[in-house]
Amino acid sequence: MNLTANRLTAAAGLCAVAAGATFVGVQINHPPSDVAHVVTTDVAIREGAKAVMAVLALAGITGMFVRNRRQFGLLGLAGYVLLSIGYLAIFAVQCIVGFVLPTVALTSPGYVQDFIDGAVGRAPAGEIGRASELFLTAGLGYAVGGLLFGIALFRAGVLARWASVLLAYGTFSALALAVLPESFSRPFAVPTGIALIGLGVSLYRDQRRQANEAPASELPVAAGR
């Protein structure tokens, strides 16, 4: 049982590291968010990588929460739930942008551009239906959930505190993108990516440390006793 739990925790830590590295990597030389580029292979690969990143990040924060749930309290629970919802919504958005929009880009370029504008925080010129609710869920879940989860991690002191602070800052600061040019969205992703890497490494090391510290009750009993 303990061995299985330790392996799952280690896997969660590695997932967080992979998510952070992916989140930073996809921002490098990112093409503009417009109809002309949404049909390219480059964007399809990047959006697919972002979708995978969301799944990996969700696995990572789940491992952090489950392993340290007693220290998190209600604040950590609220942060975990909101951040999880945010990552699930992000996963849905990236899948739509990467694999659905290209199929209708030629027939409905106006809608595609409006959807992309809403996805990156700009005000769409036309009607996008319930997609606006999806964007709101993704934005608030990611920003507010990340802030609360980062604060809970810092207060619990169970993982690297610098990474906990960076997670809270990186996720919540994303709300500013609603009033900033799109060019700011790339560097704004870097702090969160680095935070996920730091927290993932810290979780993995914590698992290894606890696995190597065998409780006295598990030590072999001396012969003849």
pLDDT (tens digit, 9 = 90+) per residue, 151-193?
999 999 989 999 999 999 999 998 887 767 666 677 888 999 9
Dist. CA 173–CA 180, nearest whole Å: 11
Given a cut of 80, is residue 76 above it in pLDDT?
yes
Q: Where are the extended beta strands (E) located within the chain?
A: none
pLDDT category at 3 given cuts 50, 70, 90 is low
Work out the angle between the directed axes of helices 41-67 and 69-95 (0-180°, nearest 10).
170
Residue recorded with tokens 């993108």: 177
- Contacts of 153-159 with CB under 8 Å at 24 or more apart are 153/64, 153/72, 153/76, 153/199, 155/75, 156/68, 156/71, 156/72, 156/76, 157/71, 158/67, 158/68, 158/71, 158/206, 159/64, 159/68, 159/199, 159/202, 159/203, 159/206
Termini Cα distance of the chain: 27
3 or 148, which is more confident: 148
Mean pLDDT of the chain: 88
0.75 surpassed by pTM: yes
